[in-house]
Structure 1
Amino acid sequence: MMDQWLFWAVAAALAAVVAAILVQALRRGAETAVEHPDLKVYRDQLAEVDRDLARGTLAADEAQRLRVEVSRRLLEADRAVQKAGGPGARTDRRGLVLAVGFVLIVLAGALWLYNRIGAPGYPDLPLALRLDMAEDAYKTRPSQAEAVAAVPAAPAAPAGAEFAALMDKLRAAVAARPEDVTGLELLARNESALGNFDAALAAQTRLLDVQGDAATADQQLMMAEILIAQAGGYVSPEAEGWIIRTLEQDPQHPMARYLSGLMFAQVGRPDRSFALWQPLLAEGPAEAPWAQAIRTDIQAVAEQAGIRFSLPDAKGPDLQGPSAADMAAASDMSAADRQAMIEGMVGQLEARLMSDGGPVEDWVKLMGVLGVLAQPDRGRAALAAAEQALAADPAALAEVRTAAAAAGFAP
């Protein structure tokens, strides 16, 4: 309250000073705007005397006499004008009223504009204070357990009977061979896709124990990705620890750099996010999952950091798969023609996604149509491609895995 009172007191004082300066300047302009005709004549006569004296057509003593006489008449005329309240006085009063009215309009407009687009009552936030606040948010942000407790419970991802049976076999195989790295990787990935994050973390932890110093950067980062998915996209201190380990092993790891930027965006340091994401976006490739995720958020991050940035155009074709209208039109064709048309459109969608990646909606669509076409081998290949393309977006990847499971495609 005291800070607000002080702000408005200072603002009012500055406004009063500026208003006084404006009124005085406008008043002086009004005073000289109109001059009585007699006064102008006498001033012109004085100027003419000076010019005649300079040309030598008038003697000095005569010039002095004329100056005195004209000056006397000028003073008398000025006194008469002031006494009668002539045009100069009227203009002065009118100009003063106009000046005061103009200043009041300007001040009222400034107050209205500030109240509309400003932040009345909001405390000052200099850069040093904002950085301190961001540092405090970074140090005191919730732990993994706190974040998970705050995430609303989500229903388990549905799995087809075939996929559920395969998962039971995979769990049994890993339990029988707990040192099998490939089995542990598959188990961690698929448990995470099903939303069984505790089981996924247990499998990935076991994998890292088995690998020891031979653990790859990707295997280290998978721990962070599972933790982030479990926390609903939040990068906790525990997840950050695995990101740091990944970058220590591979400083140029693109996914780790992306997730590090995501963490900085969440704690109020968009400048650091931009510094990580902009070169990563420039490095490409455009179809990389982190590049697609960066394109979604980097413009907002740049604006928050006060950085001028124009998002470059994305490259690559934007072919679409079969729409509902396409499928309806196919119902009027012969069976062979209908099958050929659907295969052609599915092939276009499949080729584009497999080579360039695409949004999660297209991947889900592809899973569905391949399921309708009973193409399990192509479906598994598309799912493997989606695993790579959507690795930066655990929620999207889980949606694709769910669609694949519903279509009967086992990983």
Structure 2
Amino acid sequence: MHHFEFRDGTLFAEEIAVNELADTYGTPLYVYSAATFKRHFEAFDSAFDGLEHMTCYSVKANSNLSVLKLLASMGAGMDIVSGGELYRALKAGVSPEKIVYSGVGKSANEIREALAADILMFNVESLAELEKINDIAEQEGKVARVSFRINPDVDPKTHPYISTGMKKNKFGLDMEHSLKAYSRAVELPAIEPIGMDCHIGSQLTSIEPFLEALDKLLNFNEKLKGMGIEIKYLDLGGGLGITYDEEEPPHPKAFGEALTEKLKDLPMTVILEPGRVIAGNAGIMVTEVLYTKETPSKSFVIVDGAMNDLVRPSLYDSFHRIGEAEQHGRDERDVDVVGPICESGDFLARDRQLPWVHQGERLVCYSAGAYGFTMSSNYNSRRRACELIVDGDKVTVARKRESYEDLIANEL
């Protein structure tokens, strides 16, 4: 569900017409709905009311400071994967005890920063990382709380680029090496193992892979008990999908019920790390038609939004629904919606049936709130887009559009 809807043929973001926003702030433009963020977080978090739990929003999905502040105000913790995301989470007012640090390649400086902040725990992904964290914690006179990311070898049946829980993936430790890691952690003077972690992938449209992974984790926990290791936190990651096209992902309530049934008698705090399911449908990207072009074999709609603004179609061949900001009732044509970048891979949609549009009109890419702006770049020296948050009839400029001066500010 989201709060982008048509009224008399005009698309509104909550109480403001999208074309009005584009007139004022220009395009390409990211527009987020505060009401949708709130609704999605509440729906997800409340689905686990039957468990002792913590919902740690996955910052990489959408790391805008205003978004993080909004979610933090609702009690969200944060799942981070870099020192920059730690910095953002702390700036947004998130309590360090609600921050979990994931990722396969934490640098020494990033580890020091997280120890100084006294975050809840590191999700450790290799034995070498464990040793590095211990060494740094000893130097700093601290004890690092850790969990290990266990790779359960479960096929999440998603895009191979966003599958993370199989043997061939770079993430986590297999079961055998995980046991060795916990055994070693107990020996290390500056390490306290308090959790188990598992994240099998993103954009999952079925509960079954989660449950298969959970069964393996619960069996693994019995082995840890036999080693005298008590686990306080079970981090099940995120990955619940959203509807881009015709997907039918489970509702968070069904997801929560399934997990609660398995975990209700377990004396652990469950950590969830939703990202896309919170942010995805809370945002759109608005783009303006620059030109239309017809060749003997193809019709093109050339827009000012490009792969540097929304890379998912080019990177994953992902589908984003595209529609008019103002409905005109024209006949549909088979078109490619493409951007100005000098790459054949610069497209937002290919072979898509869309109403024919005219120069100066606006198109909207839906479900762009997650992995949209956060994956954007300055390729072709293009300035990154403006981000807005609409809350009823109020607009917050969450990020101003970059200037040409911004492009070269750090170049000497």
What TM-score do the two structures reach when normalised by structure 2?
Answer: 0.25
Greater relative CO (CA pairs within 8 A, separation 6+): 2
Q: Which has the higher helix share?
A: 1
The structure with the largest alpha-carbon Rg is: 1
What TM-score do the two structures reach when normalised by structure 1?
Answer: 0.25
